[in-house]
Structure 1
Amino acid sequence: MKKWVKSSLLVIIASLTVLLIAACNDSEELQTVKVGEVTRSIFYAPQYVAITQGFFEEEGLNIELSTVAGGDKTMTALLSGGIDIALVGSETSIYVSAQGANDPIKNFAQLTQTDGTFLVAREEIEDFSWDMLNGSTFLGQRKGGMPQMAGEFVLKKHGIDPQEDLELIQNIDFANISTAFASGTGDFVQLFEPTASVFEQEGIGHIVASFGTESGHLPYTVFMAKDSFMKEDPETIEKFTRALKKAQDFVYEASATEVAEAIQPYFEDTDVELIATVVERYREQESFAKDPILDEEEWNNLQDIMDEAGELPKRMDYNELVDTTFAEKVLE
C-alpha cells in the first residue's frame, strides 16, 4: 500500500475517533430526567414535540419518558422517587396534599388548559342540544377523575342532573369505555381523541360537543415535581420549562401536519392525517396551553369543578401548590 494511502486512512480513522469521542462526551453531558405521563395521548402533543424536535437536548436534558397508567400510580411513582417529574392532572396534587404529604407536590408548568374529551353520540345529530341527554344512557369517565368531574360540571351547567336525569355508567375501566360503546352500550359517550375521530371515520359514533369548550380553562394536565427536587435542582426545572415553551410555540406556529409528523413516532399505529385532524381540533379550542403559567383563575375553576362533583377534600391555596417562578423566568 502506498504511503499516501496509509496516511489518508490514518487521517480518516483519527477523524472518526474524534467524532465518536465528541459524541460520547455530548451524551455524557446531557442530564437524564425521568418523566412519567399519566397516559399516552395526542392531547399531550407539546411534550412529544419538545422531545422529537430536540428542544430538551438544546437545554442539556435527556428525557426518559414512561407511561404510568392512572393518576394514583403516577403520583405514587413521583412520591417514591421512581420519576422526577409527573405529567398528570392538577387534582392529584390536591388529593396528595390533603392527605398531609411531608414533601409537597408543586405544579410548575401547565401543558393543557381545557378538558380534552368530546361528547360522542351513537347517531348523527344535526342540531344538537344538551337536553337531548335527558333520559339517555351516558357512558362517562372514571369517578373522581378530572374527565368525569368536568363532564358532570358541564351537564349540570346545562340543567342536567347526572344522577337523576339520565342513566350514568361510570364503572367501566378507562381502557374499555370505547369498546363498551362500540359494542352497543350507551347512547352517548365521553371520549378522548383520537378515539372520538376514529369512531367518526368508522361510523361508530359522531362528535356532537366538546367538554373542553364548555368547562372553560383549568389546569387539566400539568408538569409537577416534589418540592425537595425543585429546591435541590432548580436549574433543571428551569431548563425543562424553557424547552416546553419552545414546544408550545411550535405547536401553534407550525401547520397541523408538521405537528402530526413531529409526534408520530409516539403514535406509530395512527395515520398522520388523523393525528393532524386531532391536533387542529385541540388547537381550535386552545386545549394546548400557550405558555407554562398556571394562573390563579384556572386553579380556582379547577377547585370549583371538583367541589361541584363532591370530590374536593378541601380548598387548597394557590400559592401552596403552584410555583410559577420558572415559567415566569422563561417568559422574560
Structure 2
Amino acid sequence: MNKVKFFALVSCVFLIFLAACGSNENTSIKLGEVTRSLFYAPQYVALEKGFFEEEGLDVELQTTWGGDKTMTALLSDGIDVALVGSETSIYVYAQDSNDYAVNFAQLTQTDGTFLVSKEAKPDFEWEDLKDSNFLGQRKGGMPQMVGEFVLKKHNIDPHNDLNLSQNIDFANIPSAFASGDYEYVQLFEPTASVFEKEGNGHVIASFGEESGHVPYTVFMAKESYMAENEENIKAFTKAIYKAQKWVDETNAAEIAEVIQPYFEDVDLDILTSSIDRYKGQGSFATDPILDEEEWNNLKNIMEEAGELPVEDVPYEDLVNTEVAEEVINN
C-alpha cells in the first residue's frame, strides 16, 4: 500500500470515529422553573443524581420567576420545557393559541403552602381567620386559588371576611409578613420552617391537606415541540420518573443532602424537616401521570376562584399521558 492510500485510509477511519463520538452527544433541553422551591425536590434529584444524563439529555435549568414570565419564555422558544402550575396552560388555551402548552409530566400533586400565623395558635380554628389581616398570594395563581378554595370550604369569604392584601410580589411576601402588621400568610417550605425556627411565625394548617390532589406543578411543552421531539420528551419523563421513585423510597435527610446545592443558604436540618413535611402529606407525585380526576379538581378550584377563563377546558387537548404511561409500563 502506498503512502497516499495509507493516509487516506487513516483519514477515513478518523472521520468515522469522530462521527461515532458525535452521535453519542447528549441532547440539550432548556428547562425553566417558575421559581426556586424545595417543593420541586424530585427535579433537583434528577439533575444531581445524573438521571437526565443517563437518558442522553443535557438539561440546562433556569429560574424564570413567575407564571407569566415562564409561559412567555416557553411560547417564544426561550425554553423548551416549563415547570409551572398547570393553570397556566388553561390561560394559554383561552387565548385561542394555535400551539397549546401541553402538560406531560406531573411533579407535585398537592398545594405546597402552609397557613402561618404570627402568634402561636395551639387551638386554631378556621373561624379565627375572620376579620384578620391576611397577606394573600397573586391573583389568578395556584396558591391564591387553592387558598380561596380552602377558605370557602370552611365558610370564609376571602374577599369579605378577611382584610386581604394581594399587592406584594411573590418573592417579597415572607419579608412583608415579617415586617408588616399581617396576622396570617400562606408560605411554602422551607420559608415556613425558617419562620418557625426564628420565632417569626407558626405553622398552624396545611392547604395541601385541605385541598386534596391537584396537578399543582407540571412539566409542559408546546404541542409543536412535543410532536417534533417525541424521544426527548420520553427521555425527560423517564428521568423524572426515576427521581420520583427515588424520592418516594428515600428518607428526608438523604434527599436534603442531595439537593442542598440548590439551597445553599438553608440549613440542612431545615431542608430535612421541610422535605419530611411534604413527604408526610404526599405532595410529591410518585409518578408523572396527570389523571382526569386531578384535572377536574383543578378546574373546580379555578371556577370557585372566578378564574376559569373558558367553560370547556378539554383534558384530552391539554394533557398528554401517553408518554408517562409508556415510561411507567416499560
TM over 0.5: yes
Aligned residue pairs total 311
**86-95 vs 120-129, which moves further:** 120-129
Q: Select which of 129, 148, 158 maps to 1:133.
A: 129
Where does residue 321 of structure 2 map in the other structure? 324
Residue 95 of structure 1 aligns with an amino acid whose one-letter code is Y
- Spell out, residue by residue over 1:164-210, the C-alpha distance to the aligned partner (whole angstroms, 9 max, x if none): 11111111111111111111321111111111100000000000000
- Spell out, residue by residue over 1:100-137, the C-alpha distance to the aligned partner (whole angstroms, 9 max, x if none): 11111110000000110000011111121100101111
CA distance in 2, matches of 1:292, 1:27: 29
CA distance in 1, matches of 2:42, 2:144: 24
Where does residue 55 of structure 1 map in the other structure? 51
1:298 partnered with 2:294: yes
CA distance in 2, matches of 1:264, 1:181: 26
Where does residue 253 of structure 1 map in the other structure? 249
Question: Identity across aligned pairs (percent)?
Answer: 66
Tell me the TM-score normalised to structure 2 length.
0.92
Q: Select which of 214, 220, 224 maps to 1:224.
A: 220
> Helix, strand or coil for the counterpart of 1:87?
strand
CA distance in 2, matches of 1:326, 1:305: 27
RMSD over aligned Cα atoms: 1.5
Q: Select which of 65, 77, 84 maps to 1:81.
A: 77
> Helix, strand or coil for the counterpart of 2:244?
helix
Matches within 5 A, 1:1-332: 25=21, 29-314=25-310, 315-332=312-329
> 1:78 deviation in Å?
0.5
Tell me the TM-score normalised to structure 1 length.
0.91
Structure 1 spans left out of the alignment, 5+ residues: 1-20
- Spell out, residue by residue over 1:238-280, the C-alpha distance to the aligned partner (whole angstroms, 9 max, x if none): 1100110110011111111110011111111111111111111
Residue 92 of structure 2 aligns with an amino acid whose one-letter code is V
Residue 58 of structure 1 aligns with an amino acid whose one-letter code is E
Where does residue 3 of structure 1 map in the other structure? none
Structure 2 spans left out of the alignment, 5+ residues: 1-16
> 1:29 deviation in Å?
1.1
Residue 77 of structure 1 aligns with an amino acid whose one-letter code is A
Residue 42 of structure 1 aligns with an amino acid whose one-letter code is L
> Helix, strand or coil for the counterpart of 2:288?
coil
Where does residue 5 of structure 1 map in the other structure? none
CA distance in 1, matches of 2:66, 2:23: 32
Residue 312 of structure 1 aligns with an amino acid whose one-letter code is L
CA distance in 2, matches of 1:27, 1:77: 29
Q: Where in structure 1 do 4 or more consecutive aligned residues deviate above 4 Å?
A: 24-28
CA distance in 2, matches of 1:197, 1:182: 14
- Spell out, residue by residue over 1:124-153, the C-alpha distance to the aligned partner (whole angstroms, 9 max, x if none): 111211001011111110111110000001
> Helix, strand or coil for the counterpart of 2:232?
helix
> 1:28 deviation in Å?
6.1
